[in-house]
Amino acid sequence: MKDIGFSPAEILLPAENIDMERWAVVACDQYTSEKEYWEKADAFVGDSPSTLRMILPECYLEGPGKEERIQSIERTMQEYSDKGIFRTFPDSYILVKRDTESGTRYGLVGKLDLEKYDYSPASVSPIRATEGTILSRIPPRKEIRKNAILELPHIMVLISDSRRSVIEPLAEKRETLEKVYDSDLMLGGGHITGYLVSSEEDRNAVNSALSKLSDSLDPENPLLFAMGDGNHSLASAKSCWEDIKQRLSAAERETHPARYALVEIENIFDPGLLFEPIHRAFFSISKKSFDDILSHHARKIEQETIKSLDEANRLLKRRKNSFILVSGSSFILYTLDGTEKSMPAWTMQSVIDEMLGMKKGEVDYIHGINTVVRLASEGAIGVILPDISKETFFQSILNDRAFPRKTFSIGHANEKRYYIEARRIR
């Protein structure tokens, strides 16, 4: 089988008598400003075995008691392993069917080779980041992984498979596969079903389809797997592996479990995969000052006041290199020319960097246009960015490298990946 960087894994799932709704918990980097969500999850789980006891919600990452929480995670992993909480499925994938408010999407859980992943801005590796990696976010996440015996993935990785050749054939035959879990997800997460993909025929079909995708890429810039969610978790796994492999022989490096990370790959063209831009709100800065800073990063700026938000959004979909500025109750369509890069998010990042460097204002990253409009009515300057095109997503990364941080989100918070599968990493 061609080594394309994604392969079957020895996957651990909870025993059949475990309450799956209490077992599965949403990604740790969600609801970071809403501890009440995690308190509800804790109350709902109670004493039942749960992935909640093996992860650290990021709302607690910087707070007191972090070390005790990490030690508790390590003890729980060992306890669950010793008490037979897990079933083991060797050399397998898991086909995931996820039903959310945005629709039904499919994914495939397997392991990525961290030797083929590089999160640096200049990366041309087959697996790479889609947004800028903040190096300061890696060390605290390494603390959780470095002594853990298991990993649990909330990582979603995208492939660009317009022919729907990798995941969709498995989805079409899912009723012939063994169903290994089927459950509602807690606190409004929708429903999830998992199917075992373990036959040699199916594994070979996945590898063959991915190999064909790989063969179609530019060998000098072969982007096959692009991060969707969880880049800092994958970057932490990579950093841990770089530490571990220094102590290994060449032969040991080939098979050590920490060389790999369990992820779910999804096809960017899956209609159930919702892409949303993340907007900006600027505080304590005037529109004139904003315009002055913006003029340093675009050769030409056109402004057109639009009567309504709906009309502005229609124009935004048709105009290249544009965004909507919301000031008070006014909607102004900005169209830029002569910018360093083609995406308005990049230009906004340049504005943000200069503004913060001058200590002139503050910025927040906003999910949802209605929130931007509300903040603008309260005195902020809102910036509505255009939708992210699935058709040009991969090409944009090839052209401009990784997007600036907080460019896009895949679905709403309760649509993110839930922890279910695990894998031994030591």
Neighbour tally for 44: CB within 10 Å: 15
Tell me the pLDDT tens digit for each residue of 41-86: 999 999 999 999 999 998 898 778 899 999 999 999 999 999 999 9
In this predicted model, what pLDDT tens digit does every residue of 245-281 receive, in sequence order? 999 999 999 999 999 999 999 999 999 998 889 899 9
pLDDT attached to residue 135: 77
232-244: average pLDDT: 95
State yes or no: pLDDT of 112 exceeds 80: yes
212 pLDDT tier (thresholds 50, 70, 90): very high
Q: For residues 159 and 293, what is the distance between their CA atoms, to the nearest angstrom?
A: 37
The helices-and-strands tally (H runs, E runs) of the chain is 13, 23
Q: What is the pLDDT of residue 23?
A: 98
For residue range 3-50, list pLDDT tens digits in order: 899 999 999 999 999 999 999 999 998 888 788 999 999 999 999 999
Q: Measure the CA–CA gap between 362 and 351, rounded to whole angstroms.
A: 11
Which residue did the predictor score with more confidence, 400 or 116?
Answer: 116
Per domain, the residue ranges of the chain are: 6-274+412-424, 279-384
Distance in angstroms (rounded) separating the CA atoms of residues 333 and 208: 46
> How, if at all, do strands 260-267 and 330-337 pair?
unpaired
Q: For residue 257, give every residue at least 6 positions away whose Cβ sits within 8 Å of its Cβ, in sequence order, or none.
A: 423, 424, 425, 426
Report pTM.
0.88
- In the prediction, which pLDDT does 403 show? 84
| pLDDT surpasses 80 at 104 | yes
Cα–Cα distance measured from residue 90 to residue 208, given in angstroms and rounded to the nearest whole number: 20
Average pLDDT, the chain: 94
Distance CA 190, CA 196 (A): 21
| CA separation for the pair 72, 119 (Å, rounded) | 30
pLDDT tens-digit readout, 92-103: 999 999 999 989
| pLDDT at 290 > cutoff 80 | yes
Q: How far apart are CA 370 and CA 269, in angstroms?
A: 27
For residue range 150-199, what is the model confidence (pLDDT) as tens digits? Answer: 999 999 999 999 999 999 999 999 999 999 999 999 999 999 999 999 99
Q: Give percent of the chain with pLDDT exceeding 70.
A: 100
Query: What gap in Å lies between CA 342 and CA 320, rounded to an integer?
Result: 8
Averaged pLDDT for residues 291-295: 97
Tokens of 333: 């369509």
134 compared with 365, residue with greater pLDDT: 365
Beta-carbon neighbour count of residue 413 at 10 Å?
17
pLDDT of residue 420: 98
Q: Which residues of 11-27 are buried (b: 16+ CB within 10 A; e: fewer)?
A: bbbbeeebebbbbbbbb
pLDDT of residue 2: 60
What is the rounded average pLDDT of the residues 195-213?
97
pLDDT tens per residue, range 329-362: 999 999 999 999 888 999 999 999 999 999 999 9
Measured between alpha carbons, how far is residue 284 from residues 156, 290, 343, 373 in Å? 36, 10, 25, 16
DSSP 355-391: HHHTT--EEEEESSHHHHHHHHHTTPEEEEPPPPPTT
Exposed/middle/buried for residue 307 (C-beta within 10 Å: 0-12, 13-18, 19+): exposed
In Å, what is the CA distance from 238 to each residue of 241, 332, 370? Answer: 5, 43, 38
Per the listing, tokens 């508790």 go with 72
Contacts of 43 by beta carbon, 8 Å cutoff, 6+ apart = none
Q: Which helix (H) or strand (E) holds 240?
A: helix 231-245
142 pLDDT band (50/70/90 cuts)? very high
